[in-house]
Amino acid sequence: MLLLVFVVLLGTVVTVNSEKHSLTYIYTALSKPVGLQGIHEFTAMGLLDGKMIDYYDSEHQTKVPKQPWMEERLSKEYWDKGTQSRRSKQQWFKVNIDILMKRMRQDDTDVHVLQWMHGCEGVEGPDDSLQFQRGMDMYNYDGNDFLSFDYIHSVWVAPTDAAVPTKRKWDEVQVLKEYTKGYLENECMDWLGKFRSYSINQTRDSPPEVFLFARNAKVETNIILTCLATGFYPKDIVLNIKRNGRILTREDGVVTSGVRPNEDDTFQRRDYVEIKRSDTSNYSCEVIHAASDTYVRNSWGKKDFAKTTKTSDFVALIKIVIYCKYTV
């Protein structure tokens, strides 16, 4: 029987930016229960761009959606088949973790961990299509790299002597190598594209909420003005801090976070500038989100500057409620 050890380092983080997207599945099996709440003998989860989209554990033994769009767009048959697949893998992991323990002459005094991560990364092209960039099929045992698949050369890589017998077996099975390479480059990318389109449609054309802050700077005579736009989709947005109608730039001291993702697949951006408290100019924030046809503009009032003098840590928050159609 082939030893199929599917693993990944605990705490693996998938890097995400505005152009790369990833679909990853992580399976974790323990050699015995640990009796701690929330820690299961077997867990499996899917992640899209680092966010969990489905989940299974040995206690409930049901594959469930973790995003609303997963539940809405995928049929009951998909979840039923997924549940059966996870149950099969749960049993399979139990058998193979026992094999590894015997191979390494380990007893059940300690808890041993077997993990597998597999998935793919794609780069978004100019036409919004995803092009395959790399595949991942990585195995880990007790926190150490055990085995990985080199999809370019179609060979298994064993970084430790204990993994060499598995490498030899797997390298001899041509159909296994062909399936693994094909899954990473084709099937995984197909699902990545589908899931991306489902999540995008869920949050399409979401208008921003805009907030203005005024707080003390480290220099007592200065204050910091911050403009935050959040909850918008897609990511393209214009955010300007103005003084007397003129757009301020980095040369004027404006600092920006850039566009960053929120947990719900929308985006946010935060800009701020430090000014003299005695400055009598009119400062305003302008936000333009063309996709949702939204234009927002509001100003910091002098009363907001004054409030920051009462307590050193006070933050004045004004929620802008001026939303109007973008008709420049």
272 within 8 A of 254, measured Cβ to Cβ = yes
Q: Is the pLDDT of residue 250 over 70?
A: yes
Q: Name the pLDDT band for 97 (thresholds 50, 70, 90).
A: very high
pLDDT in tens, 22-36: 999 999 999 999 888
pTM of the model: 0.62
User: Is 14 part of any domain?
Assistant: no
> Cβ-count burial of 84 within 10 angstroms (0-12 exposed, 13-18 middle, 19+ buried)?
exposed
Q: Strand locations in 142-208, DSSP E?
A: 144-150, 155-157
Tokens representing 189? 């990318």
User: Is 5 part of any domain?
Assistant: no
pLDDT in tens, 40-69: 999 999 999 988 999 999 999 999 999 889
Q: How far apart are alpha carbons 168 and 145 in whole angstroms?
A: 17
Q: Which domain holds residue 106?
A: 20-202
Residues 284 and 236 in one domain: yes
Cβ neighbours around 189 below 10 Å, total: 21
Pairing of strands 222-232, 267-276: antiparallel
Residues 196 and 218 in one domain: no
Between 170 and 261, where is the model more confident?
170
Q: Whole-number mean pLDDT of the chain?
A: 85
Residues 68 and 191 in one domain: yes
Q: Is the pLDDT of residue 315 over 60?
A: no
Residue 314 sits in a domain whose CATH number is 2.60.40.10
**pLDDT value of residue 320:** 30
Residue 125 sits in a domain whose CATH number is 3.30.500.10
Could you give the C-alpha distances from 239 to 273, 291, 318, 325, in angstroms and in order? Answer: 13, 14, 17, 16
pLDDT in tens, 268-278: 999 999 999 99
Residues 179 and 285 in one domain: no
Q: Is the pLDDT of residue 99 over 90?
A: yes
Tokens representing 159? 């970084």
269 within 8 A of 228, measured Cβ to Cβ = yes
Q: Is the pLDDT of residue 317 over 50?
A: no
Q: Is the pLDDT of residue 298 over 50?
A: yes
Task: Show Cβ contacts of residue 64 under 8 Å, excluding neighbours closer than 6 positions.
Answer: 54, 55, 56, 79
User: Is 247 part of any domain?
Assistant: yes
Sheet of 51-57, strand order = 64-65, 51-57, 42-48, 20-30, 113-124, 130-141, 144-150, 155-157
Q: Is the pLDDT of residue 306 over 90?
A: no
* 213-230 average pLDDT score: 94
Residues 71 and 43 in one domain: yes
User: Is 302 part of any domain?
Assistant: yes
Q: Is the pLDDT of residue 153 over 50?
A: yes
Cβ neighbours around 227 below 10 Å, total: 28
Q: Count structural domains, the chain.
A: 2
Tokens representing 65? 């959606």
Residues 193 and 307 in one domain: no
Residues 122 and 258 in one domain: no
Look at residues 202, 228, 251 and tell me which one is the last residue of a structural domain: 202
Look at residues 202, 236, 258 and tell me which one is the last residue of a structural domain: 202
Please state the separation of Cα 48 from the chain's center in Å.
6
**pLDDT value of residue 302:** 67
Q: How far apart are alpha carbons 26 and 46 in whole angstroms?
A: 7
**pLDDT value of residue 304:** 61
Q: How far apart are alpha carbons 129 and 296 in whole angstroms?
A: 32
Q: How far apart are alpha carbons 153 and 9 in whole angstroms?
A: 23
* 193-202 average pLDDT score: 85
Q: Which residue has the tokens 């693993």?
A: 7
